[in-house]
Amino acid sequence: MANKKITSRDVDFAKWYTDVVNAAHLSSYSNVKGCIILEPNGYAIWEKMQSTLDKMFKESGHKNVAMPMLIPENLMKKEGELIAGFAPEVAWVTMGGSKTLEERMCIRPTSETLFSDYYSGIVKSYRDLPLKYNQWCSVMRWEKETRPFLRSREFWWQEGHTVHETQEEAEKETRDMLNTYKTFFEDYLAIPVVAGKKTEKEKFAGAEYSLTIEALMYNGVSLQSGTSHYFGQKFSKAYDIKFLNRENGYTYAYQTSWGVSSRMIGALIMVHSDDDGLVLPPKIAPVQVRIIPIGQDNEEIMSLANRYYDELKKANISVELDNNPNTTPGFKFAESEVLGVPVRIEIGKRDLENGMITLARRDTKEKLQISKDSDIALEVNKLMNEIQNNLFERAKSRRDNMTYEAKTLDEFAKIMNSTPGFIKADWCGNPECEAKIKEIRGTKSRCILENEKCLTGKCVACGKEAKHLVLWGIQY
């Protein structure tokens, strides 16, 4: 029985998405146009993402810093492509107190300029390199159309910015960080992703090239989920980051940047969740287990509930005991489902007469009876592993089933107009062909599949010789 507050995702996907966000209290619109509030349940997921990624970053030698949130216009302008890309969508501070500023400043839309300016002052010798810094912050882009987590004027993210002695090392960093993101998505978020290179048209303003991971949502729409950019010497030349090299000469440094954002929460919703609300993979769920005693005046039930609570807590499993006297068990079940708690433990009188309790898994809604004397932490961990794997496999087989190949533009259009998803098709490298494909429901190139061979060797749009196999999709 589906949650009554939630529209079915097969009836109206956009409405379903909003309903899940609201029912799970993840975020709400503020009275600041285009800006959202991360409510406690949404922020808790973000914190879990942060702590997991932060550990991965630190283990690979990255350090956190904090840069200013404002960028003076002149500093922003030093690298021409970046300002051209971002100027239409930044917020400008023009007054401090009651005085008009001599030079206006924008709220950072991204911080390449600030990091580069800082690096130009501290990078003197090859001995200072590499510098591998990251910051967690919010950034602002003056979007017109907004949607919780997917696109809002302010969003939360991390941005890594690194400086290297050689091109080789910087390119390795660019790929390593994309792999870190891929691992995080697949092993923690249980979301399969395709990794590849953006086309010239879709790359980050100012990058030599951009790498991306792309995920497919339940409705067949694709989501750019994380990007890693190789800058070569573009910024180091614009911001004068040069160092004494090993041959006693000067070299402009090689740079990268990479980021993932609170948009990942949107991906979690659109890949795993259902008509009963949020579904969270155990590894990223702020609350992994809820214990629900059915009959709170029963001493045996409450003592078991407390024992399980203590044992799970001791095993570092995040657990809550829902003994609210004002709500029914049915309400409690539905609430734990809306919130996406992976495992529910139900302790009821009838089960106990047979020495049993019930574990309910959120992903499949299956119920499992186990002895009340089980090693509860062991059983829960076993079940959470199964859930984590099931969510990934379920998402992967859906993604695979929705990944098509198109050899002609007709085939391409037929697929996209009926059952959208990922389409693999050959491309000649010409942006005009990208534009032509965009006419089909706004389909864009997601990424170049660097390690895959072309299907026919002919561009799907123009028929000329193909350079790459490309993944295409409709994007958020």
418 is an interface residue for a copy of itself by CB under 8 A? no
Q: Examine residue 248 and tell whether it contacts a copy of itself (CB under 8 A).
A: no
Strands ordered across the beta sheet of 367-371: 319-321, 289-293, 343-347, 356-361, 367-371
CB of 319 to a copy of itself, least distance (A): 15
* Alpha carbons 357 and 370: distance in angstroms, whole number: 6
Shortest spacing between CB 451 and a copy of itself, in angstroms: 36
Regarding 92 and contact with a copy of itself (CB under 8 A), the answer is yes
The reply to whether 138 sits near a copy of itself by the rule CB under 8 A is yes
Residue window 335-354: x/- pattern of binding to a copy of itself, with contact defined by CB under 8 A: --------------------
Instruction: Give all strands (DSSP E) within 108-218, no chain letters.
Output: 131-140, 154-164, 194-197, 209-216
User: At closest approach, how far in Å is the CB of 360 from a copy of itself?
Assistant: 25
Which of 165, 426 has the CB closer to a copy of itself?
165
Asked whether position 157 contacts a copy of itself by CB under 8 A, the answer is no
Tokens in use for 387?
């859930």
Q: What residues between 15 and 34 interact with a copy of itself by CB under 8 A?
A: 28, 30-33
| Residue 188 CB, nearest approach to a copy of itself (Å) | 20
Q: Which is nearer to a copy of itself, 68 or 457 (CB)?
A: 68
Instruction: Tell which phi-psi region holds residue 307, choosing left (phi > 0), alpha (psi between -120 and 50) or beta.
Output: alpha
Identify the residue among 24, 45, 67, 343 touching a copy of itself (CB under 8 A): 67
Does residue 126 bind a copy of itself (CB under 8 A)?
Answer: no
Q: Which stretch binds a copy of itself (CB under 8 A): 84-92, 267-275, 370-378, 416-424?
A: 84-92
Q: What is the CA 242 to chain-centroid distance, rounded?
A: 34
Measured CA distances, 250 to 208, 240, 244, 253 (Å): 21, 11, 5, 9
In the set 61, 97, 249, 325, which binds a copy of itself (CB under 8 A)?
97
**Residue closer to a copy of itself (CB basis): 42 or 232:** 42
Six token digits for residue 270: 């659109």
377 forms part of the interface with a copy of itself (CB under 8 A):
no
Residue choice 3, 13, 18, 39 for contact with a copy of itself (CB under 8 A)? 39
CB of 239 to a copy of itself, least distance (A): 11
Site for a copy of itself contains 285 (CB under 8 A): no
The Cα 151–Cα 75 span in angstroms is: 26
Residue nearer to a copy of itself on the CB measure, 258 or 472? 258
**Given 16, 17, 57, 133, the residue binding a copy of itself (CB under 8 A):** 133
Q: Is 1 in the site for a copy of itself (CB under 8 A)?
A: no
Element (H, E) at 433: helix 431-438
Cα–Cα distance for residue pair 270/92, rounded to 1 Å = 33
Task: Tell whether residue 76 is a contact of a copy of itself (CB under 8 A).
Answer: no
Which tokens is 135 given? 């910051």
Q: Do 24 and 278 contact (CB within 8 A), yes or no?
A: yes
What Rg do the C-alpha atoms of the chain give, in angstroms? 25
Q: Which of 66, 250, 325, 353 binds a copy of itself (CB under 8 A)?
A: 66
Q: Which amino acid is at 443?
A: T
* Cβ contact 443:243 at 8 Å: no
Q: Which pairs with CB-CB distance under 8 Å and at least 24 residues apart come from 86-90?
A: 86/110, 86/141, 86/205, 88/142, 89/141, 89/142, 89/143, 90/140, 90/141, 90/142
In the list 19, 79, 112, 154, the residue contacting a copy of itself (rule: CB under 8 A) is 154
Q: How far apart are alpha carbons 473 and 446 in whole angstroms?
A: 6
Residues near a copy of itself (CB under 8 A): 28, 30-33, 35-40, 43-44, 46-47, 63-72, 75, 87-98, 104-105, 107, 114, 117-118, 121-122, 133, 137-138, 140, 142, 154, 156
